Amino acid sequence: MKTKLNAYGAFAMLLLVGCGSGQPANGDLTADQDVDSAKEDSARRRKHPELYKCDTDADCVAVEQASCCPNGFLVALNTTMVDKYNETYACNEPPHVCPHFIVQDNRVSQCDGEKHTCQMIDPTQIRCGGFIAPERQHHCPTGWTCQLNTIPDVPGSCVKTEE
């Protein structure tokens, strides 16, 4: 009887996870999912910092975070290190059941000019324009516009363009 109860419990849990229980309706990250993804990303950055080095935004690209259970989280990497990243973090586990959810990660890749590392950033947090070297300026992603300040040398912020 105990075996049947455990199997039933596992089946019920699979149904809850598989149906997207506890997920936001719009597919955005929950706070817990965002923290878990950030912890994993941080550990990988400490272990292989060469994968994330950059000088300008053009050096960075957003790719799906390597995982045995792909779920839509993105990670910012150096454009030349994508294959090395996928090779380093390829799934080496036997096939198993994964949660059935995909996160809509709307962040974009950007180079942190002070740390010289690629990072994922919410478009609303991008500091665009301003009087700095053109190759070091951050630009808004497609569908966003740089709204400049009234002070010309202070960077502006990205705002979503109306469709």
C-alpha distances in angstroms, 74 versus 10, 40, 67? 29, 12, 11
pLDDT of residue 46: 76
- Cα–Cα distance, 68 to 48 (Å, whole number): 19
Tell me if residue 89 falls in helix, strand or coil: coil
Angle, vertex CA 127, rays to CA 123 and CA 131, nearest 5: 150
Residue 158 has pLDDT above 90, yes or no: yes
- Cα–Cα distance, 161 to 64 (Å, whole number): 25
Residue type, 124: T
- Cα–Cα distance, 33 to 103 (Å, whole number): 9
Mean pLDDT of all residues belonging to the chain: 77
| From 24-33, 87-96, 114-123, the region with the lowest mean pLDDT | 24-33
Mean pLDDT of 60-83: 92
Who wins on pLDDT, 153 or 159?
159
Each residue of 45-68: pLDDT tens digit? 777 889 999 999 999 999 999 888
Q: Which two tokens stand for residue 93?
A: 């586990």
Q: Which residues pair with 111 in a beta bridge?
A: 118
Q: Which two tokens stand for residue 162?
A: 């109306």
- Cα–Cα distance, 42 to 32 (Å, whole number): 15
pLDDT category of residue 136 using cuts at 50, 70 and 90? confident
Mean pLDDT of 72-90: 93
Each residue of 3-34: pLDDT tens digit? 343 443 443 333 333 333 344 444 455 556 55
Mean pLDDT of 87-105: 86
- Cα–Cα distance, 101 to 16 (Å, whole number): 11
pLDDT of residue 82: 95
pLDDT of residue 86: 93
- DSSP 8-state symbol, 56: S
